[in-house]
C-alpha cells in the first residue's frame, strides 16, 4: 500500500476541517454572516436612522392663517408640508367655523390625506381668538402686529409665514434652511432699502416680540399718522433695520421670493413666489415652466 499518498490525503482533510472551523469562529469573516444573523454595523455608524418627529415645534415652524376656505387650501398646505419636510412643523390657524365646516379631520367630508396628516400630528390646526377679523387687510395687519401669534409659537426662533397667494417651489436650488441667517427675509419692496414683503417671509420671532414689548405698536402709529408706509411687514422690517438686525440685500431677497415684474426679470429660479397673480400676471407663463405649483396659489378672498 502507498502510505505516502494516504498520509497526504489525511493532511489535506485535516487542513480543510481546520479552515471550516476557523470560519465558524468568525461569522463575519469576508462578510459571510450565517442566515438569520444581523451583520454588525461599523463603529460610529447607526444601524438605523433616527425617526423624524413631525409636529414638534423646537427652533423652526411654518405658519399659515386663513379663515376663508377655498378648495385650494388643503392642497396648498400639504404642498408646503411636503417641500419643507419634517424639520418644519406646520401650524394652521383658522376660525372655529371654518374648522368645523371644512377642515375637521374627524368629518367624513374631510380630505382623507388631510385628516391623516392632522391626526398624525404632522400638521397642527389651531383656532384664533374672536377678536381677530381676518377678512380685511387691516385685520390681517393687526393680527400679525400684535403679540398673540408670536407668543403662541414659542419656542421657535425662525417662523416662516406663508399665505394662500404664496408658493415654494420643489425645483428650488436652495432650501429654506439656507436663509436662516437673516432676521427677516421676503420679497424686496425696494431695490436698495431694507423693506420686505411679509406674505412669504422668514422672520425672527424673538426679535419681533422684543420690538412689540418695547411699546412699538403698528395700530397706534398708523392711526396717529406716525407710520404711513403700509402694512406690518414694511413696519417690522424698518423697525428691525433701525435696531441693527441682520437683513439681506435685495439680490439675496430675490433668491428667496419674487413678487413683481422686476423681480422675475432679475431672478428666474427663486425659492418661492408671492402674489404673483396680481402683481406680475404677464410672467405667469414663464414662471409655470419653473414652478408649476404656482397654480396652487391664487388671489384669495381678502378685502382691501
**Residue 248, domain CATH:** 3.90.550
- Per the domain annotation, does 194 fall within a domain? yes
On whether residue 163 sits in a domain, the answer given is: yes
Find how far residue 18's CA is from the centre of its chain: 60
Q: Is residue 200 part of a domain?
A: yes
Q: How many domains does the chain have?
A: 1
Structural domain includes residue 72: yes
Among the residue ranges 55-59, 62-66, 232-236, the one predicted with the least confidence is 55-59
Is 34 among the domain residues? no
Burial class (CB in 10 A: 0-12, 13-18, 19+), 238: middle
Question: Is 173 in a helix, a strand, or coil?
Answer: coil
State which residues form the domain around 81.
Answer: 62-296
Is 244 a domain residue? yes
Residue 183 lies in a domain: yes
Report pLDDT digits (tens) over 248-302.
999 999 999 999 999 999 999 999 999 999 999 999 999 999 999 999 998 766 5
| Residue at 267 is within a domain | yes
pLDDT at 45 over 90: no
Q: What is the pTM of this model?
A: 0.81
* Closest-CA residue to 291 (of 274, 270, 275): 270
Amino acid at each position: 500500500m502507498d502510505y505516502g499518498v494516504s498520509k497526504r490525503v489525511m493532511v489535506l482533510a485535516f487542513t480543510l476541517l481546520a479552515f471550516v472551523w476557523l470560519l465558524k469562529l468568525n461569522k463575519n469573516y469576508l462578510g459571510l454572516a450565517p442566515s438569520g444573523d444581523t451583520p454588525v454595523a461599523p463603529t460610529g455608524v447607526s444601524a438605523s436612522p433616527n425617526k423624524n418627529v413631525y409636529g414638534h415645534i423646537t427652533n423652526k415652524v411654518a405658519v399659515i392663517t386663513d379663515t376663508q376656505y377655498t378648495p385650494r387650501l388643503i392642497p396648498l398646505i400639504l404642498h408646503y408640508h411636503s417641500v419643507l419636510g419634517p424639520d418644519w412643523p406646520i401650524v394652521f390657524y383658522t376660525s372655529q367655523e371654518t374648522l368645523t365646516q371644512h377642515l375637521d379631520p374627524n368629518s367624513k367630508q374631510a380630505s382623507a390625506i388631510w385628516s391623516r396628516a392632522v391626526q398624525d400630528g404632522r400638521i397642527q390646526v389651531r383656532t384664533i381668538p374672536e377678536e381677530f377679523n381676518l377678512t380685511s387687510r387691516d385685520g390681517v395687519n393687526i393680527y400679525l402686529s400684535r403679540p398673540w401669534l408670536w407668543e403662541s409659537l414659542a419656542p421657535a426662533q425662525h417662523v416662516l409665514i406663508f399665505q394662500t397667494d404664496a408658493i415654494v417651489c420643489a425645483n428650488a436650488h436652495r432650501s429654506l434652511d439656507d436663509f436662516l441667517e437673516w432676521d427677516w427675509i421676503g420679497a424686496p419692496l425696494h431695490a436698495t432699502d431694507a423693506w420686505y414683503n411679509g406674505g412669504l417671509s422668514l422672520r425672527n420671532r424673538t426679535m419681533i416680540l422684543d420690538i412689540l414689548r418695547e411699546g412699538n405698536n403698528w395700530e397706534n402709529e398708523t392711526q396717529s399718522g406716525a407710520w404711513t408706509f403700509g402694512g406690518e411687514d414694511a413696519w417690522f422690517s424698518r423697525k428691525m433695520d433701525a435696531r441693527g438686525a441682520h437683513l439681506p440685500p435685495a439680490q439675496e431677497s430675490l433668491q428667496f421670493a419674487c413678487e413683481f415684474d422686476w423681480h422675475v426679470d432679475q431672478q428666474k429660479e427663486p425659492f418661492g413666489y408671492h402674489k404673483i397673480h396680481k402683481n406680475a400676471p404677464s410672467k405667469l407663463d414663464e414662471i409655470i415652466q419653473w414652478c408649476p405649483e404656482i397654480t396652487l396659489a391664487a388671489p384669495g378672498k381678502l378685502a382691501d
